[in-house]
Amino acid sequence: MCDLSILFEPVTINGLTLPNRIVMSPMGRNFAEGGVQPPGFVDYFVRRTKGGVGLCIGEASAIDHPVASTDVMHAAFFGDAPLAAWKTVVDAIHAAGGHFMPQLWHAGLLRPPVGDNPQIPNPHLPPVGPSGWAEPLVHVIGWVDPIREAAQIAEPMTERDIADVIDAFARGARAARDIGCDGINLHGAHGYIIDQFFWDRTNCRADGYGGDITARTRFAVELLSAVRAAVGPDFPITFRWSQWKQQDYHYKLAPTPAELERFLLPLVDAGVDMFDCSTRRFWEPEFEGSRLNLAGWTKKLTGKPTMTVGSIGLSKENFADDGEFSMSDSGLASLDPLIERLEADEFDLVGVGRMLITNPEWPNQLREGRHAEIKPYSNTHLMTLD
């Protein structure tokens, strides 16, 4: 086991100083009722905060747009009751000495077409997306994707539609500041609406919102600019993005470093303070000829702080169906290359998901050498809000 002390050094993002580098990644728990998180969410986040997490990011929460969400069990980030529930979480995390950011989200064309499903808010309304063109999901646990092949499931968004969604994100960001959050995380990854504008397979527009990789950032740039105007210059804006999509795990939005730079720099200019770089395996290099992962390349090209994510702390058994496996059998041993990359300043923060579901005290267990207490992750732990 290598020296883990670098994990517990402070990091500052646009004036917000976090006590360490460990972040609880946004994870959809789907325990909400009508968009309102249950009271158990307070203890859920406080336990991780007291367990040593420097920053908690809430699960994907729908903005105030009629077709933002895919399920009534998804959290909302608008309206009196949902915001009151989130404020209770924020206040409790602060009282425990921690920090919190919500993740603002719109599903776009990953919402099913018009139907009568009572589990979907406003099922009579069509989804929205840049071109109305949807790609089928690779795999959805517990839900059958109604799109079995690529299809036109809605009309292309009008400029009024685009402005409405941008305004809803800005209102969500302002609400986050108003209830005392420490920043926001904008969900621009995994094939949701912002990412649908990035992706050439879902953005076929011929106007200023479509075209090459730089032109396809226009929607996100306008959204980020509106959010920055809503929250002011000193409120951290973090931005989650990914090469891969839920519809295509192997897709690369930017296949070369040069393309990646063309994609990222407009987002930096629009106001991103930190990039949350979503990968499925943190140790996998992003481009041939360099060991840098996505967070490493993003930091190198932008100079902005970045967060790496992807199977941190998991053991080999968690990848039983993955075929070839390149890490050691031990989840703890997998931290060695992570620490080496942190010490090389390849990225700044470490987003941890599943290990914090199973081990709320994971950071403290690492720092105090209580490795024998760390339990292996299991999907059964998702069944309860513990």
The tens digit of pLDDT for each residue in 220-271 reads 999 999 999 999 999 999 999 999 999 999 999 999 999 999 999 999 999 9
pLDDT of residue 316: 59
Q: Which domains does the chain show, CATH number per domain?
A: 5-383 (3.20.20.70)
pLDDT of residue 149: 79
Residues 176 and 165: their CA atoms lie apart, in Å, by 17
pLDDT of residue 328: 45
Catalytic pick among 192, 209, 249, 377: 192
Which segments of 38-154 are extended strands (E)? 55-62, 75-76, 100-105, 133-134, 151-152
Residues 53 and 362: their CA atoms lie apart, in Å, by 8
Please, are residues 13 and 358 in contact by the beta-carbon 8 Å criterion?
no
pLDDT of residue 323: 45
DSSP lists the bridge partners of residue 105 as 62
Residues 384 and 20: their CA atoms lie apart, in Å, by 28
Structure tokens at 276: 């949350």
Structure tokens at 326: 């390149």
pTM for this predicted structure: 0.94
Residue % of the chain over a pLDDT of 70: 92
Lowest mean pLDDT among 265-274, 294-303, 314-323: 314-323
Residues 168 and 149: their CA atoms lie apart, in Å, by 30
In the numeric block, the tokens 């986050």 are attached to: 176
Residues 29 and 26: their CA atoms lie apart, in Å, by 9
- What are the tens digits of pLDDT across the range 327-359? 444 444 468 999 999 999 999 999 999 999 999
Residues 218 and 223: their CA atoms lie apart, in Å, by 8
Sorted by sequence, the CB contacts under 8 Å of residue 368 that are 6+ apart come out as none
Helices 40-50 and 80-95 pack at an angle, to 10 degrees, of 30
Residues 207 and 209: their CA atoms lie apart, in Å, by 5
Please, are residues 58 and 103 in contact by the beta-carbon 8 Å criterion?
yes
The one-letter amino acid at 51: G
Please, are residues 339 and 2 in contact by the beta-carbon 8 Å criterion?
yes
DSSP lists the bridge partners of residue 11 as 18
The Cα diameter of the chain in Å comes to: 58
- What are the tens digits of pLDDT across the range 38-65? 999 999 999 999 999 999 999 999 999 9
CA 164 to chain centre: 22
pLDDT of residue 324: 45
The dihedral sign for the CA sequence 231, 237, 242, 245:
negative
pLDDT of residue 317: 59
Count of other CB atoms within 10 angstroms of residue 335: 19
Provide the pLDDT confidence category of residue 178 given band limits of 50, 70 and 90: very high
Q: Which long-range CB contacts under 8 A does 368-373 form with residues at least 24 apart? A: 371/1, 371/332
Summary mean pLDDT of the chain = 92
The one-letter amino acid at 165: V
Residues 348 and 22: their CA atoms lie apart, in Å, by 10
Catalytic, 192? Answer yes
